[in-house]
Amino acid sequence: MSVLTDPATAATSTPVPVLQDRLDTLRAQAHELGFTIVDVDLHDHPGSADLVARFAGPLQFPDWVGSTLDALTDALRDLSWHEAPGYLVVVDGPRDPRLAGVLQDAAEFQAQDGIPFWGVWVVPPPQTGP
């Protein structure tokens, strides 16, 4: 059984740093489990409205979801319009403490309903050489 299926582990571990070279394996496991996978690119340092929009498309947010981080938190807590056996959010780019908090909150809230919600941050491979 995959660790991805454990909501309690997700709730206490999110956001998890994941090496770029392990991401394909993680995605494959999540896909096999029927999870919804969301990719979020932060390389351009989006503002709150743009950040919410990056979740809104893949998760099919209803029109009533606002464009603030509080609205994103509320939406990720209640994904009743986009039910799945689990969720994997893959964040690529500089770590944003605000988003890390939103993902942690969502993971804790979803765990109460027995749904694994994972937020992972892509970490580049370590530099080798001189």
Q: How many domains does the chain have?
A: 1
Query: Two tokens at 48?
Result: 């709150």
Is residue 129 a part of any domain in this protein? no
Sheet holding 16-19, edge to edge: 16-19, 117-123, 87-92, 36-41
pLDDT band at 2 (very low <50, low <70, confident <90, very high): confident
Residue-range definition of the domain harbouring residue 88: 3-123
CATH number of the domain residue 86 falls in: 3.30.370.10
Question: Is the residue at 29 inside a domain?
Answer: yes
Residue 41 lies inside a defined structural domain of this protein: yes
| pLDDT tens string 7-50 | 988 888 878 888 888 899 999 999 999 999 999 998 888 888 99
Within a domain: residue 57?
A: yes
